[in-house]
A and B are shown apart, each in its own frame.
Chain A
Amino acid sequence: MKVLVAVKRVIDYNVKPRVKMDGTGVDLANVKMSMNPFDEIAVEEAIRLKEKGAATEIVTVSIGPAKAQETLRTSLAMGADRAILVQTDDEVEPLAVAKILAKIAEEEQPGLFLLGKQAIDDDASQVGQMLAALLGWGQGTFASKVEVDGSNANVTREVDGGLETVALKLPAIVTTDLRLNEPRYASLPNIMKAKSKPLATKSPADYGVDTAPRLQTLKVVEPSKRQAGIKVGSVDELVAKLKAIGAVA
């Protein structure tokens, strides 16, 4: 079974984003970028499936600027076999991303398509579900456990109120939650080896997908700041303060 994994280059999760003064967006110039943390988990899961013998080939895909190559190289260094970069400098919305990924899925015929549950930049949490809809496949979103058994996958999902397990007929879509696994670090020899693994560069037009945005961002502003609070010196003061503001009776 071939496994496809979608990865996105995003602002590093440790960086505090700064909103541009002109309200057009978040300033990404000279900011550290990394692979979206949920996508790392998706790559790791694909590698584990290969190590268990359930997967034969891992192909990672990214849609974005030329620099997204670095993100794909990271996935190759972790253990993916080859990569596809759909290069564009335009911002591509989840719907268009899903359409491109659907075309790639039709070409590549994977048994499983893994994605992160959301990207930490747009926080949309849409692509996996949209891709499943476009392909007519089953979806296991927010997965914390994936068990592939022949032509089926049992996926345990993190839902409000607990854990839900669904059985999916393959091919299927799985989006990863944080607790699915602990992604490995790429070793130096593997980073070197990854440089010679195949990486194909395509464009959205190669897949006949119109990436014109459906949503127009009118402005981006900083959230309202909280007023500076006070520090108290003892539990008695804390209790008194809570009573004063009416937070407790």
Chain B
Amino acid sequence: MPRYLDVQPPANGVQLVTLQRPDALNALCTALLAELAATLEAAAQDDQVAAVVITGNLKAFAAGADIAEMAERDLVGMLNDPRIAHWRTIAAFPKALVAAVNGYALGGGCELAMCADIIVAGSDARFGQPEINLGIMPGAGGTQRLLRAVGKPLAMQMVLTGEPISSQHALQAGLVSEVTQPEFTVERALHIARTIAAKAPLAVRLAKQALLQAGDTDLASGLRLERQAFTVLAGTADRDEGIRAFQEKRQPHFQGR
């Protein structure tokens, strides 16, 4: 039983995972991160789960790492930091991951949101990388994923000043895909996740891979990877079903094969 997470049973292919450390604004202590990594690992293996929605509460998605915990780690402690493996597991989740962000998404919280494929933000959400204020810097993707999402000028400004941006600004910059009334953030994220869950699982998986690789490779390699993935799908039963259902003007029934 996770202590810092509420994990709902999957419904319509979607699993809702809620961070629950309200007294610490959902600060990502190592135990929470470990629970989240384990939950996503289980979800990756669970045929009932096609997509996961991750959220916090109205006040905070996650307001950063656990500072007290970090203070106890010296150089050697950092080198042996168990968190690195947890972050890697979260980022490597092969199915669709949607973040529903209300309130603060700061530091590790912002980095966690950026591990998701899609971010839906409430109108009062705040995204920031305030690590610099503590004499440190982002250590879980904040200098990498942020740059890829919003471009260099804004990423530099956010990381070097530590000042957060509004959800409206995040929308303009391309960090989030949608801004909603805070009360509907989770509903919208669930709706998007359910939409994805109704598609052919293999197509979703390979499309996600291709998109993630797009940020890391040159165009020629990216196009080659895309074509390979595209070709692989030609061998699936779901592709035949998808095309046939389209021709016959009916809803497809995908099986993940």
| A, B co-complexed | no
